[in-house]
Amino acid sequence: MRFEEAYSGNVFINSHPDFENSEAVIYGMPMDWTVSYRPGSRFGPTRIREVSIGLEEYSAYLDRELEEVKYYDAGDIPLPFGNAQRSLDLIEEFVDEILDAGKFPLGIGGEHLVSWPVMKSVYKKYPDLAIIHMDAHADLRESYEGEPLSHSTPIRKISEHIGPEHVYSFGIRSGMKEEFQWAKEHGMHISKFEVLEPLKKVLPKLAGRPVYVTLDIDVLDPAHAPGTGTVDAGGITSKELLASIHEIAKSDIKVVGCDLVEVAPIYDVSEQTANTASKLIREMILGWVQKR
């Protein structure tokens, strides 16, 4: 046996060792310092990679195998604890590089605020960008207790940045009254409670457009994703979420990047949420990366 054959636990299963020849780049954003309730998602990327060794490399849903896609796992971006602004700047810079190299960025959070600099970066490359957002929470606050950098604000920020009419939220079951009002008044799409059926109606409208998909794991019911900071009853099943990923894969939109955020291993005692996240990422890779 040679040393290089030794299994290296830190990369997502079947990652391609070579950045240059990869089509996609997986990267972690281990930040959780602005969360208002239960922290811990900083350890999400590491645990999701760790449990990915339990994944089958073939998708019985898409009839594809991981080896059909080349993706590089760049590890976690080292972020300064407790400094939100600097962390966001580092993330944006990192994703700029991925996009400059022509790769598909697939980010793993961390708290949802990390999606804000990613989407900004993607928008620089795709001015016609639309956002698909799956989440339990509207994340449309301007600030949280006076703090504009909060995990309850990223969708508001990107909506104001690219225009609320380009942002489509699904599965939302929690938020302030003002958030829902703001969405309504500004022409932003919100589907409350459900994901799959409303998504089927929206996808045709986005045909041909570049779309970034941001997925907060808490769109799932706590039964399916207990390992997250803010559990909220009444969510969708993992079956519906898988079907939604496949619906996007079959559609005519062009996914140009995506993320999965808010897995918090410490609340995930049987590692069920991390395992589910790693399966979702497999389906995203197999269903979306080839869409470029």
- Restricted to residues 124-163, the positions that interact with its own copies (CB under 8 A) are 137, 144-147, 149-150
27 binds its own copies (CB under 8 A): yes
103 binds its own copies (CB under 8 A): no
Q: 252: annotated binding-site residue?
A: no
Q: What is the 3-state secondary structure (H, E, C) of 229-260?
A: CCCCCCCECHHHHHHHHHHHHHCCCEEEEEEE
Binds its own copies by CB under 8 A, chosen from 14, 123, 165, 192 = 192
Binds its own copies by CB under 8 A, chosen from 271, 290, 291, 292 = 271
Min CB(77)–its own copies separation in Å: 6
100 binds its own copies (CB under 8 A): no
Return the bridge partners of 220, or none: 236
Q: 137: annotated binding-site residue?
A: yes
The answer to whether the CB of 34 falls within 8 A of the CB of 149 is yes
94: left (phi over 0), alpha (psi -120 to 50) or beta: alpha
247 binds its own copies (CB under 8 A): no
Q: 216: annotated binding-site residue?
A: yes
39 binds its own copies (CB under 8 A): yes
Min CB(213)–its own copies separation in Å: 18
* Span from 32-40, 114-122, 201-209, 251-259 in contact with its own copies (CB under 8 A): 32-40
250 binds its own copies (CB under 8 A): no
Binds its own copies by CB under 8 A, chosen from 52, 153, 174, 244 = 174
Q: 139: annotated binding-site residue?
A: yes
| Sequence-distant (≥ 6) Cβ neighbours of residue 219 within 8 angstroms | 134, 135, 136, 170, 171, 195, 235, 236, 241
In the range 44-83, which residues lie near its own copies by CB under 8 A? 45-46, 49-50, 53-54, 56-58, 60-61, 63, 65, 74-78, 80-83
* Span from 117-125, 207-215, 254-262, 273-281 in contact with its own copies (CB under 8 A): 273-281
Nearest to 130 by CA among 280, 283, 236, 257: 257
Helix, coil or strand: residue 202: helix
Binds its own copies by CB under 8 A, chosen from 142, 180, 202, 209 = 180
207 binds its own copies (CB under 8 A): no
Tell me the two tokens of residue 289. 């990366």
- Cα atoms in the Cβ-side hemisphere of radius 13 Å centred on 145: 5
Give ∠ CA 116-120-124 in degrees, rounded to 5: 170
E-strand stretches of 49-166: 58-59, 64-65, 71-76, 104-109, 130-134
279 binds its own copies (CB under 8 A): yes
Count residues contacting its own copies (CB under 8 A)?
A: 94
- Kindly give the pairing relationship between strand 58-59 and strand 64-65: antiparallel
The binding site for Mn(2+) consists of: 112, 135, 137, 139, 216, 218
